[in-house]
Chains A and B, each alone.
Chain A
Amino acid sequence: MTALAHPQECLQCGLCVTVCPVEMVGGHAIVTFMADPTATDFSVWLCTSCWRCQESCPGGIDIYGLMMAWRRQESDTAPEGYRVAFEHILAHGQAMAVSQEELDQMRAAWGLEPVRLPPPDVARRLLTPSPAVR
């Protein structure tokens, strides 16, 4: 993994490690790297996005932002769940892999009226710089 620069403002106080729920149950998330820039046994994908680390940081470091930049840099190591959901957003405009037919059946089973799925190509159109995609 190509490490992004360890933030200058980090005092390595370790507060972020003490509040991280993943560290609490034995996992090593990005806060392991914050506390020890030489650490290699952590994963930027092991994060629940709870913002505890950022809330606790006395240096006011955007740990979440750093981690997201790292994730995007290492996107080929993304767990399958992320990749599948992302591909689905690109192809169908939504993270959830559900077809109109499945959705209709599910909602009918709970006695609810049918709903239309979002426009399928919305993500691609947003990423393509052409006017008036709404």
Chain B
Amino acid sequence: MKYSYYPGCTAKTTSVEFGFSTEAVCEALGVELVELEDWSCCGASSAHSLNHELSLALPARNVALAQDTHLDLVTSCPACYQNSLKADRALREDEAWRRKMEETLDFRYNGEGEPRHLLDVLSHDLSLDEIRARVVKPLKGLKVAAYYGCVLVRPPEFTGWDDAEHPMTMDRLLEAVGAEAVDWSYKVDCCGASLTLSRGEIVTKLSSRIVNGAIEAGADCIATACGICQINLDTRQKCEREVPIFYFTELMGIALGVSGLEKMWGKHGVDPRPLLRERGFLA
């Protein structure tokens, strides 16, 4: 099972623990990720706000590079995923734009290099039984609130996610590695996203609502699939108790026995080590 891997900027910088655990979990599951040679930034949220053409051209370049590999283009960042999807759709459906990009990027679009999110790949290209079989340290007794956020699932006609209001892909993966995925009402609510740069107080309110929702549901921790969700929930929560915020790949990594995760626990705003020690997942 082999994929072209587009880590995106955050997985290599501010969310190194997401990038590291993504690669480590894939290796443990026999999913081969070949990092896309010479990939570039997808344009993030500023490009589509300020220059529409650039917001489609930057990710189109990655799609073009991925096409050469004849492999699906996998990313773990929801924003990179959605920008790549948009670029791919524009190349597919807008003939004039496709011709322009084909000339600029010196390639012929053929639909290969399809952008996919890591959750999709792990949930659909592998079976849950295959994942269960690789678990060496089941996350027994750990109650996790699986948090999907916005960009991964909405708008549903675009992302094609299982259910934009009640997605279960991450819940199922966490259950497959032994955790208990709690039922809760905030899994697709918004954390405030990039308003953290300009209007922090809004993000504090929105993120605290989500963390409170997880506490009310009896969760020990929250699992996320997004760099900005992780940072917002982790550093802006103001609740009755502190709740560790993991990337879902970090929790899967513990269960799969991957080494090297421990050196990054100190990077989290809410230190997850007391919880992990208490439950016997960390010596």
A122 at the interface (CB under 8 A from B): yes
How many residues on A have C-beta within 8 angstroms of the other chain's C-beta atoms? Answer: 52
Shortest Cβ distance from A31 into chain B, in angstroms?
13
Interface residues of B, dominant DSSP: helix
User: Taking the nearest CB of chain B, how far is it from the CB of A51, in angstroms?
Assistant: 4
Contact A95 B9 (CB under 8 A): yes
- B155 within 8 Å of A by Cβ? yes
Instruction: Give B201's nearest chain A residue, CB to CB.
Output: A25
CB of B34 closer than 8 Å to a CB of A: no
Contact across chains for B57 and A107 when beta carbons are under 8 A apart: no
Interface residues of A in 71-112 (CB under 8 A from B): 71-72, 75, 78-83, 85-86, 89, 93-96, 98, 103, 106-107, 110-112
Chain B minimum-CB-distance residue to A120: B40
Q: Is the CB of B150 within 8 A of A51?
A: yes
A55-B155, A118-B41, A119-B38 given as contacts; is B64 within 8 A of A75 (CB)? no
- CB-based contact A50/B50 at 8 Å: no
Q: Is A1 an interface residue (CB 8 A)?
A: no
Q: Which of A45, A118, A126 sits near B57, CB closer than 8 Å?
A: A126
Using a CB–CB cutoff of 8 Å, the interface residues on chain B facing chain A are: 9-10, 12-14, 16-17, 20, 38-41, 43-54, 57-58, 61, 64-65, 100, 103-107, 150-151, 154-156, 164, 189-195, 197-199, 202, 205-206, 260, 263-264, 267
